[in-house]
Amino acid sequence: MDILLEKAKNKHELTREELTAMLQPEYPLADLLSAADEVRKKYVGDEIHLRGLIEFSNFCKNNCLYCGLRRDNKQIQRYRIDIRTILELASHAKNMGLKTVVLQSGEDIWFSTEKMVEIIRGIKDMGLALTLSIGEKSREEYEAYRKAGADRFLIRIETTDKKLYEDNDPGMSWEKRRQCMLDLKELGFELGSGCLVGLPGQTLESLADDILFFKETSCDMIGIGPFIPHPMTPLKNAEGGKLEPALRVMALTRLLLPDINIPATTAMETLAPNGQTLALQGGANVIMPNVTLTAYRQHYQLYPGKTTTGYTPDESLKKVIAKIESLGRKVGSGAGQSPKWLKEQNTENK
């Protein structure tokens, strides 16, 4: 076996130069995916954890150039799901057998800390694990969510290239985003982050930096999404990301962070009908079936062609379970914390 792959598989360490070499299109993708699959099996096992995704508001005060929810997109119909309905959707997710829900939205200031705390408490009372993906907040707000019982938080760094980040996320600061991640980790959240692959001007070196950054910031979950241009955004004519480079970044992330959770992302499935299957066979161990009501889903268009758009929550879940079974893997039986985070908790409590 190639020495770099051997080193990655056994030591879980690579330099920026080595990562960059393995991100080249010439480096055999099949070998990378199969090594990542072996490491996944050894460290996190065969279970695939399901998270019920509730996209509860598509209002956003930010203006990220790549995202269909950006505030200057006047062509989408905005919605907010009321608190009672959010709780009903969570309860339905629980009745369908899901153990975790993920609440995701644009940065919608209507959902004040008090409202979020009410939602968090309601969901925690159902005995579900809860992940939030609602963007940048103050440390005090994150602390209030944690005290109310929220377990995990997803906030992608998007790219570690500061200039690329600030060019694509006007008015936002890369340092602030990083600080949010550090605050969340310190407050005891299981920290999820990730990056977009294929942003205009992004280099392989910068993707290598992204992977090293995930390790340095001690992330517990990493979602890698190919960037898919949205027709109502300034990046509508961009070339967009491709599946293969995104799979490469994902597989290398598994090799360097062997005991974290890695989702097979919806954006991967949008680019190819077998995108998520390839991801699950190349290091991924999580899927997030969409449990938002069908009527709202069509308006949560981060990018066009999202594969889950037309399905009811029950249909989305059935499709995902069939996929898992067809791969000879099994649906996760518990809340699905990452082994890395569990180990850290045990060490802290000793």
Q: Which residues bind ligand SF4 (CB under 6 A)?
A: 60, 62, 64, 67, 69-70, 106-107, 135
* Choice between 39 and 249, CB closer to ligand SAM: 249
Q: How far is the CB of 124 from ligand SF4 (least distance, A)?
A: 24
Binder among 208, 302, 317, 320 for ligand SAM (CB under 6 A):
302
316 binds, among ligand SF4, ligand SAM, none (CB under 5 to 8 A by kind): none
* Choice between 161 and 259, CB closer to ligand SF4: 161
Instruction: With H, G, I as helix, E, B as strand and everything else as coil, classify residue 52.
Output: strand
Please list, residue by residue across 263-299, b when 16 or more beta carbons sit within 10 angstroms of its beta carbon and e when fewer do. Answer: bbbbbbbbbeeebbbbbbbbbbbbbbbbbbbeebbeb
Binder among 52, 122, 135, 258 for ligand SAM (CB under 6 A):
135
70 binds, among ligand SAM, ligand SF4, none (CB under 5 to 8 A by kind): ligand SF4
Binding mask 67-106 for ligand SAM (x = CB under 6 A): x-x----------------------------------x-x
* Choice between 20 and 63, CB closer to ligand SF4: 63
Instruction: With H, G, I as helix, E, B as strand and everything else as coil, classify residue 132.
Output: strand
| CB of 348 closer than 8 Å to CB of 62 | no
Stretch that binds ligand SAM, among 42-50, 65-73, 272-280, 321-329 (CB under 6 A): 65-73
- As a whole number of Å, the CA-based R_g of the chain is 19
Q: What is the DSSP letter of 77?
A: P
Q: How far is the CB of 135 from ligand SAM (least distance, A)?
A: 4
- If you write DSSP's letter for every residue of 313-331 in order, what string do you get? HHHHHHHHHHHHHHTT-EE
Q: How far is the CB of 62 from ligand SF4 (least distance, A)?
A: 4
Which segments of the chain does DSSP mark as H helices, in order? 3-11, 16-23, 29-44, 83-95, 113-125, 139-148, 162-168, 174-186, 204-216, 243-256, 266-271, 275-280, 294-297, 313-326, 339-349
* Number of residues in the chain: 350
Distance between CA atoms of residues 103 and 92, nearest Å? 14
Give the total of residues touching ligand SAM (CB under 6 A): 19
Provide the binding-site residues for ligand SAM, judged by CB under 6 A: 66-67, 69, 104, 106-107, 133, 135, 155-156, 158, 196, 225, 227-228, 230, 267, 302-303
